[in-house]
Structure 1
């Protein structure tokens, strides 16, 4: 095989495949996770030792005039191979030799879920449709009138000589009796006639049912977050002006959308460039993408399914959408015409067939970050002007009704 030759392998941190270790000896770079298991196995089988080297600019590499970043080191024979698998594209296949396919993945769009809950104070009255409230107010008004009628004109009641009949309830008493029941309060006036008591009991049972339904629906609306789906296809994403699109530099998706003649892909690439110009920090490091997703719900990140599995552990409440651009394949890139590509392919084929690559991926993906449990959504009393307007209006109407009642009682007593 390689007779103990020392290979230079380019490396960068990438999800659960490669993680930089805190412990290093003699200033050497120490990486763990899948890459260590993989290259230890390859080194034993092919009889070589290896040294891990990071690119100076810490980038994956893309083609401008020449290849830069990690791919640039491979193209200039600065290293023997890349320790990170890359997607195979037309431009890369012309500049590099690729090993046997290691992973297959799908293109996905990830973004934070949007909530349909509009939790301002109007949520308190949005539990039922407006027709329910109108019917409820009409029913209450009918109950007030019927209760007053039953109490003032009790049919079939007889009074003995000298007996003073009980004072019938005033209009305010009837109003308060009907209003306090759904508010779970007692009434100052108890019905004296049997008909009034039967009616009052029926009104209490009716209010218990309505209040229970209202309370249950309100708790459900506040505590359950309804998902708002802004787009379902890549075309809808391209036409959505609210979302900014980010794609990591050096990925195969850059070539897909940058050099495509499809109108939808051109729109996607234009939005990617706009996002880059708006944020200079753009896309040199995947941690920056994750920060963007955490900061705003209006960032859409186009990446592979292998990356999204890692992002889900860091960004809570993430939504994934599959792109319809077909599967992509990851392989280790070597310098053009390198004989190492064929040597490595034989061992990689064996590792793929016997399931070791998948087993290592499962092994290192088992460590998950703790996710915060979302608390119950609170009602936001942000629109205070309209809330105060309604309160003042209600108080004004109540004072007006009481004033009219007192005026009518005074006129009746005068007469």
Structure 2
């Protein structure tokens, strides 16, 4: 009997890429499958079979066991969504995100199995990852045309390789002699893979396998694995936060540094995206039962695939989501309005000297005046002068004091000392006065040239200790979570103040930073949040000032669902991390230069110089 499906037997050209293992007492069909499995270096495999291929499945399991590959058998009707979930726990493989399947079936069974309504939606994070990370080697025993699989839009798995065998090669006592005859006619079988195209799937021949297990590989067996998401559409959530995410209210288009990073990732990982902001407009804060709102709530409920925003990494958030490696290192600060210089303009004449210096000068003036009076009044040099006490001179305290005071103004006085002791004292006093006047004049010019604004407070301790200013922070963000759960006393006091102010003024917890900037400009209000946004606000308004001390560091990262298999994929060295290593501890003013221009992601990250170790 001839082999009906192999009337035109292939004559492959190429070098042998792999020699199959030597296994006794096994069929040539199983040997070809074992050869491909060993070439792929699978350490475990799930063998799925239908009623017609049960003998081949049992034979395959035994053959794999003899060479140390773990194999478990499942009938097609047993493979359900819950069974697939259980596989992640039963697989001995060290990487449970990558499952390997070998399917043995007739063409009709294969088609119905791949169309089976497995729930691989975004609500099932691990199961959804199998669309990308599972590998399927399908052995089809049929005479039908495989192009029927190209038209199967329900076949969502990326990595499917197919070897088609003639039906006559199914193991049965009646067909043994026919199989031997057919084997002499056709010894090479093509290996095909289902590729993704714009209009669906398409079969691509990637190699050949011989009945003795020899393998000729023309291309990768699973080439789709190199193309990321294979143009799948992801739902992305974000919120405006200049300069990282900027929303044009007219065109409703997003831009900014984080959006540029998203575009680079979509290009590198081969996916499209649709932005779906949170309906409540919040970033996300958890309740007592760990239910979150905002963008994090969207991710927790699996309504979206990813958060692309300047989202801070925080331990409470990590209970419901995963983060990639941080792409930006930020600090928080306190934004306030500069004090009105007219309120202290009267003190400008006193600013060149500190209060301590002014106090020392004020003390030295009467003390030195007393010394001069003593030198002039009791000096034997004036012993010959009659009725001297009835005349004016430096031997009177009033005349001595006014002379010393005049010297401070570089004017001197009417009376002068005639004795050597008095003149010596005055010489040293004049030297002191000249130095003080020169120092004062220099500092006074500097103060007039560059104004020196004294802020009412410079840190959290100073903010919570005063009673003139109210304060607030971006509500439903990482700051609300941190301040609410902090054990540090100053942060506890800060949060108690916010709760008090929120009772009469809910805007102190507004998620919109522009609302807080408006309140700051009205006066007697401080805003605690990201320093980069404050730097940006200061470039647009010179009345704003930032406290000198940083409050807490924040790391921005991309947000993914909890226990996501794609964290490493997004943080891969050849994708995102090549920018991360260049970014290092970012210069915090760097993003400001991109306002008003089209950001370039590599220029932005290359402007940050310090390298950080990558975990």
- Alignment TM-score > 0.5, same fold: yes
Tell me which residue corresponds to 1:206: 428
**In structure 2, how many angstroms separate the alpha carbons of the residues matched to 1:7 and 1:269?**
37
3-state DSSP of counterpart to 2:418: helix
When structure 1 is superposed on structure 2, of 171-180 and 245-254 the one drifting more is: 171-180
Tell me which residue corresponds to 2:437: 215
Tell me which residue corresponds to 1:286: 513
Q: How does 1:300-379 map to 2 (within 5 A)?
A: 301=528, 303=529, 307-313=530-536, 314=538, 315-323=544-552, 330-335=556-561, 341-343=564-566, 345-350=568-573, 351-356=575-580, 359=583, 364-365=590-591, 367=593
Task: Give deviations 1:206-233, integer Å, cap 9, x for gaps.
Answer: 343232344356565994969789687x
Per-residue deviation at 1:281? 1.6
Per-residue deviation at 1:63? 3.6
8 Å Cα contact 2:237-2:276 kept in structure 1: yes
Per-residue deviation at 1:56? 4.3
Is 1:184 matched up with 2:410? yes
**In structure 1, how many angstroms separate the alpha carbons of the residues matched to 2:550 and 2:464?**
16
Count of aligned pairs between the two proteins: 337
Q: TM-score, normalised by structure 1?
A: 0.60
Match of residue 244, structure 2, among 10, 14, 17: 17
8 Å Cα contact 1:102-1:329 kept in structure 2: yes
**In structure 1, how many angstroms separate the alpha carbons of the residues matched to 2:374 and 2:314?**
80
Per-residue deviation at 1:346? 0.9
When structure 1 is superposed on structure 2, of 42-51 and 145-154 the one drifting more is: 145-154
Match of residue 5, structure 1, among 223, 226, 232: 232
Tell me which residue corresponds to 1:255: 481
Tell me which residue corresponds to 1:143: 372
Is 1:101 matched up with 2:325? yes
**In structure 2, how many angstroms separate the alpha carbons of the residues matched to 1:321 and 1:217?**
34
3-state DSSP of counterpart to 2:506: coil
**In structure 2, how many angstroms separate the alpha carbons of the residues matched to 1:102 and 1:256?**
18
Q: TM-score, normalised by structure 2?
A: 0.43
**In structure 2, how many angstroms separate the alpha carbons of the residues matched to 1:28 and 1:178?**
74
Relative to structure 1, is the Cα distance of residues 111 and 319 closer, same or farther in structure 2, using a 3 angstrom cutoff? farther
Tell me which residue corresponds to 1:61: 284
Match of residue 171, structure 1, among 383, 392, 399: 392
**In structure 2, how many angstroms separate the alpha carbons of the residues matched to 1:30 and 1:368?**
14
**In structure 2, how many angstroms separate the alpha carbons of the residues matched to 1:352 and 1:265?**
34
Tell me which residue corresponds to 1:277: 503
**In structure 2, how many angstroms separate the alpha carbons of the residues matched to 1:68 and 1:212?**
69
Match of residue 311, structure 2, among 75, 86, 97: 86
Structure with bigger gyration radius: 2
